[in-house]
Structure 1
Amino acid sequence: MSGRRTLDALLERHGTTYAAEAGIRLRDTPQPLYQLLVLSDLLSARIRAGIAVAAARALFSRGLRTPRRMADATWQERVDALGEGGYRRYDERTATQLGDGALLLLDAFGGDLRRLRREAGGDVHALRSGLRRFPGIGPTGADIFLREVQTVWPETAPYLDKKALQGAERLGLPGTPAALTRLARDEDPAVLAAALVRGALDKG
């Protein structure tokens, strides 16, 4: 199978971003960007992606869609929402991280991650470092956020981290972001990244 046919098959099977799966309508506005930060925290734990997505949906369905609502919720309310989504192994620690992270976002950036973007000034490394200030967002969480946000923050594209490139290698696709972007042509870079990551994780 040619590289393009392989990629087309991958996109047909796995061409959904994690944000879309979690019900986040990603735009360059404060609420969906914050929801992506929450999802990135959940996905970065050693837990199945489906459980992390379900936990994010549970949090959002309980109204915890903004940093103010997250900060105002009790620790137990956050634990209960995570448990509803099946996120039980890390629920207590993550409930604390989400509360502390919401307060940090409110205090340092007025609840608006676009201020972090402006502070980074188009420097992806600075943006990645800024994201890592948030509790629970380590290197993996920052990579997840940047993979997903590149549709609305185009200065980060193409953002294909080690996990995405692992998927490309597994499928015999080109091994560099530039070559993969050329092969994908006009495909949404966040969809491409998510598909490659899912390809790396899909045991089938």
Structure 2
Amino acid sequence: MTIQELLTFPLFSEELGIDLQSGKDHELFKWLLATLLFGGPVSRDIARKTYRTFQKYRLLDPLSITRAGWSYLVHPVMREGGYVRHDGVTASHIMETCGTLQQYYQGSLNTLHSMAESPRDLENRLTALRGMEPASANIFLRELRPIWDKANPEPLAVVNEMAKKFKLNLAQMDRKSPAFAKVESALIRLKQTRSKNPRRA
């Protein structure tokens, strides 16, 4: 697998129709919501379906979600998304995250980024959000490297593992470039595919 071949893979945000390149707050929040869902204790299919359900009910900004309330997130939203367990916990995380964004950052992820003093501080502010574990923060930030000055998480071990497998020297690439984000995302996809199909590993 070459760099050029990896560049043909879509970013995870692109797969969901999220336009991170715009840098607009409503697109950034969509990606945060998706990150919280994909970082949760459910399959990728359920996470994707649940994100689409949030779209269906037009719950794609902190204020709309807060107004809808916890019970509405659990049912119908999470249930329609395919949640059987963990729906209440995930709904609580999303509600609390929306509340924190509104209380401290005027509901704006761009404001959160502006207030961060460094890449590490940015990661700390994100992991302070309820339900945003370090791995989830990495998911969120890696596609924002070309957009946010302070977004520069270390590539996950799986990325370096897959790069070594394909004899790719990631150190030669600009980590803040859109191309690096594409390659990183593609390597993670390939690892996930191989994990589901062990005969191909």
TM bin (shorter chain): 0.7 to 0.9
Question: Is the partner of 1:135 in helix, strand or coil?
Answer: coil
Give the superposition deviation at 1:186: 6.4
Give the superposition deviation at 1:7: 2.8
Cα distance in 2 between the residues matched to 1:73 and 1:88: 20
TM-score, normalization by structure 2: 0.84
- Say if 1:77 and 1:153 are closer, same or farther in 2 by CA, change over 3 A: same
TM-score, normalization by structure 1: 0.83
Deviations along 1:84-108, whole A, 9 cap, x unmatched? Answer: 2224332221011111110110001
Give the superposition deviation at 1:195: 0.9
Correspondence 1:119 to 2:115:
yes
Aligned CA RMSD, in angstroms, stands at 2.4
Aligned partner of 2:103 among 91, 104, 107: 107
- Say if 1:69 and 1:187 are closer, same or farther in 2 by CA, change over 3 A: closer
| Aligned 8 A contact 2:6 2:182 in 1 | no
Question: How many residues of Structure 1 are paired with residues of Structure 2 in the alignment?
Answer: 193
Question: What is the match of residue 191 of structure 1?
Answer: 182
Cα distance in 2 between the residues matched to 1:45 and 1:107: 24
Runs of 4 or more above 4 Å deviation: 184-187
Correspondence 1:32 to 2:23:
no
Give the superposition deviation at 1:10: 3.2
Deviations along 1:94-128, whole A, 9 cap, x unmatched? Answer: 0111111101100010000111111113x211111
Correspondence 1:149 to 2:140:
no
Question: Is the partner of 1:64 in helix, strand or coil?
Answer: coil
Aligned partner of 2:13 among 11, 14, 19: 19
Cα distance in 2 between the residues matched to 1:148 and 1:88: 30
Structure 1 vs Structure 2: percent identity of aligned residues?
A: 26
Give the superposition deviation at 1:170: 4.1
Question: What is the match of residue 6 of structure 2?
Answer: 10
Deviations along 1:152-183, whole A, 9 cap, x unmatched? Answer: 21443575233432332343433xx523x26x
* Structure 1, unpaired ranges of 5+: none
* Structure 2, unpaired ranges of 5+: none
- Say if 1:61 and 1:151 are closer, same or farther in 2 by CA, change over 3 A: farther
User: Which is further off, 57-66 or 165-174?
Assistant: 165-174
Q: Which amino acid aligns with 1:168?
A: A
Where do 1:12-91 residues align within 5 Å? 12=8, 15-26=9-20, 27-79=22-74, 80-91=76-87
